Chain A
């Protein structure tokens, strides 16, 4: 499997995701945002960080980067596209995924491990999570409060496009288990064809027992198995 990680000025989880991909024998290349074309890839990742310093609006300037034309083409042709944290914000700015990511409800940056209930297993990213009721991953963001209008939310629900919801360890989904105020506790969503996943939590940060868990590994294992 071949992957490309897009590096924007201000990306800061680019190395972390590259380490994770390589750990699972995915052949990865780092692609500079200003490059004209994307090399042939099975998977493209928009990494976390503060592309363009979050100026104007998170993800906004990056969504107009030169390489994004090719990234969008890749996704429209059915290629896998994963946006983590700032990558998710970029995906909503491009319109590839619906909704927006607002500032956290408490208006503070939030960095902690959270539990997630996996809502949709039937996609290339998540089928390995079938054996788990809930998973644990870190979040680290200031703008992770997912918002979409009722119509969009209904569409996500009706088409089973919600990938993850914030929960507690037992899988309860309610206001108390919502760290940032997201609509319906949404932590990650898919597009209609389920080849694009945008998520606020960081799977690349939990791929090693020394790092307090390996639930992130399961996603990369899903990707290489499929």
Chain B
């Protein structure tokens, strides 16, 4: 078949990239070779637009065992335990086919984690949908949630937390970001780098079918009105097989049979074989007749580009083949020796005794074009003096409006579809500041959270980037953890547009600044560009997944108020920043203006002090103050503890609305009992930490002095009403 410019274009390869391919390999590629280039050189796999900026992110601290570049990042949590984690997007497929798209997103990220030898212990997710009024939203929400649950529940890993958000910028491009966390012994971590030539290359897992062909290329382009027609590029998941694959791999990993291992994710067999060989500075030769196929008459092109799920590529010590095979046969999985490593530094594919492709590996991985794309600085909006008649927005009515808005509504409709307690170690599930999962058999745990704040990032990408890392850090502190590292999923529009590229560059800058300052490095992640349809891009949405350690679970903290007659203090200064707040967006209807400033110095100081107070067991409960401000955070504490509070605004320099709904950063609400009050206040003063006394806890109602008094049951009812009415239940 002749390679025409149309065929090149359909493979997402630009004319100048095609020229580069010819010069790199010294010949015109055949169809199979072109397909392989398209799989390796697309944005999703090559990071060609983002690489330059990702390099600026800090990736190391004393706890980091493995940073970006492997299947997932790894951190040390002491006692020979290590935590493996990563977040990844599955946005494009989930929009086309929400159930399978989301399910295989979970499946893919779990494989990244157990490929490294870790048993997955938790799944989290961040999902963004269009406006709740958009005709597609309900179906997409329903499909994505049941897809995430369908996969995680079946494989038996608890889904312990996440976030669900709605905004019209996602109307035609939803976001599905899935994070997985696994536990491994520090001396039993497996890597993807191949070692030694003439070693057998083994294919295990499911058979290869025709699903997901060109999935990664599809995810590297914008959608048009024919997005539906891309359904065949969506993979189909089978969590049952993945469970078998997980158990078989972990069983094989008990000894030293495996030299290297790589899951077949995006770009399937192509990317996994090339990555293993090129990391090991070797070559690889594959006999495609040995690939277990699900369908008849599959061509080399289809086999190499299929993204069928639940498959792994292993390089095994040649003496261990028989014992390894036994394990996979026991679990009912395919096991096929498909080739070997070589010292040629080439990828060679044979089919029906013919060489069907021969490509130098360096051309596929090292020589990927790297773009220094043009970008435009974002015009940061300035704070304007606004003439708002605050009196016309009654505080209680405003709170109710926020509580029943889709973004702030109670989300048990979602969480209850996820098995959160399987494995018996989920100590805090969805609803807390972070999830907490116990390290099996020990009295320590990891705190995990996923956060994003797209409208802050849209208003000011640098501040937004800083804010989201800070919020993630704060959420970990709030449960008594020491934050260690993050993984990030960077969701943006089309990077070929200067404005979008500018959002990306500046968000990464903000993330980097906060990560450096807080010693909170990035150990893994992924970039998802082209979240754009018909020229309309999503809001820039970096999603941050953070992990921290709770050395002793006796000092773990929760956010529910514990006792009547204790005191609520606000840690950190309240300036009353309302631009980009939930109050402005949901109640007043103002959506412009700058996000709240982030002062990393205060962030760190306030956080470390709260951490210190928690570790000394001086606090009853802690909650970070973020979107919705003090009043919303306080309401959540009351509702989850079923104890009320009577408050009086301690600051009369700003309007009550500014005090109660302002979204200034670096703040926490803490509950302190009578006995510890003096010591806590003294410690705060000694360390020059700004705090204010907000109120005192009391029985079952929330009271604002001279303003309102409402029963908690009513607030709970309002907060849980939105999902019920959206899905017309009860």
Contact = CB atoms under 8 A, between A and B. Distances in A.
A204 B424 contact: yes
A211 B427 contact: yes
B553 interface: yes
A109 B421 contact: no
Contacts of A9: 240, 243-244, 331-332
Interface string A1-32: 00000000110110110011000000000000
A112 interface: yes
Given A9-B244, A108-B146, A138 B417 contact: no
Interface stretch (B151-159, B488-496, B499-507): B151-159
B423 interface: yes
Interface residues of A, number: 31
B244 A205 contact: no
Nearest to B119: A15
Contacts of A140: 153, 419-422
B419 A10 contact: no
B424 A112 contact: no
A12 B156 contact: yes
A53 B239 contact: yes
Contact of B417 (A12, A15, A110): A110
A12 B155 contact: yes
Interface string B520-550: 0000000000000000000000000000000
A144 interface: no
A50 interface: yes
Contacts of A10: 154, 240, 243-244
Contacts of A112: 412, 416
Contacts of B426: 211
A204 B426 CA distance: 13
Given A10-B154, A112-B412, A55 B420 contact: no
Interface residues of B, number: 31
A117 B427 CA distance: 25
Contact of A205 (B150, B331, B421, B729): B421
Interface in A169-226: 202, 204-205, 207-208, 210-211
A110 B149 CA distance: 10
Contacts of A50: 153-154, 156, 239-240, 243
A52 interface: yes
Contacts of A15: 423-424
A111 B239 contact: no
Nearest to B332: A9
A210 B438 contact: yes
Contacts of A55: 240
Contacts of B415: 111
Given A109-B417, A210-B553, A16 B331 contact: no
A106 B422 contact: no
A208 B423 CA distance: 13
Nearest to A55: B240
Contacts of A108: 146, 416-417
B238 interface: yes
Contacts of A109: 146, 149-150, 153, 416-419
Contacts of A54: 154, 240
A187 B718 CA distance: 30
A205 B156 contact: no
A205 B419 CA distance: 12
Nearest to B730: A176
Interface string A36-70: 00000000000011101111000000000000000
A53 B418 CA distance: 17
Contacts of B150: 109
Given A9-B331, A10-B154, A50-B154, A111 B243 contact: no
Contact of B243 (A12, A142, A208): A12
Contacts of B240: 9-10, 50, 52-55
A18 B649 CA distance: 53
B717 to A, nearest CB: 15
Contacts of B424: 15-16, 19-20, 204-205, 207-208, 211
Nearest to B412: A112
A65 to B, nearest CB: 13
A19 B438 CA distance: 14
Nearest to B426: A211
A202 B154 contact: no
A50 B419 CA distance: 12
Residue of A12, A54, A55, A208 with most partner-chain B CB within 10 A: A12
Contacts of B149: 109
B19 to A, nearest CB: 48
A13 B154 CA distance: 11
A180 to B, nearest CB: 11
A111 B156 contact: no
A202 B158 CA distance: 14
Contacts of A111: 153, 415-421
Contacts of B243: 9-10, 12, 50, 53
Interface in B226-268: 238-241, 243-244
A112 B421 CA distance: 9
Nearest to A52: B240
Given A12-B243, A13-B422, A53-B238, A210 B427 contact: yes
A53 B243 CA distance: 9
Contacts of A207: 424
A13 B420 CA distance: 13
A57 to B, nearest CB: 14
A174 to B, nearest CB: 14
Contacts of B421: 111, 138, 140, 202, 205, 211
A209 B419 CA distance: 20
Contacts of B418: 109, 111
A211 B436 CA distance: 11
Nearest to B142: A108
A216 to B, nearest CB: 10
A208 B156 CA distance: 20
A17 to B, nearest CB: 9
Contacts of B729: 106
Nearest to A19: B424
A149 to B, nearest CB: 28
A86 B331 CA distance: 19
Nearest to A216: B424
B427 A110 contact: no
Interface of B: 146, 149-150, 153-156, 238-241, 243-244, 331-332, 412, 415-424, 426-427, 438, 553, 729
Given A12-B156, A52-B240, A54-B240, 4 more contacts: A10-B243, A15-B423, A111-B421, A140-B420
Interface of A: 9-10, 12-13, 15-16, 19-20, 48-50, 52-55, 106, 108-112, 138, 140, 142, 202, 204-205, 207-208, 210-211
13 contacts: A9-B331, A10-B243, A16-B422, A50-B240, A53-B154, A53-B239, A53-B243, A109-B150, A110-B417, A140-B421, A202-B421, A210-B553, A211-B424
The 7 A-B pairs of least Cβ separation, nearest first, read A12-B156, A53-B240, A140-B419, A16-B424, A50-B154, A111-B419, A109-B417
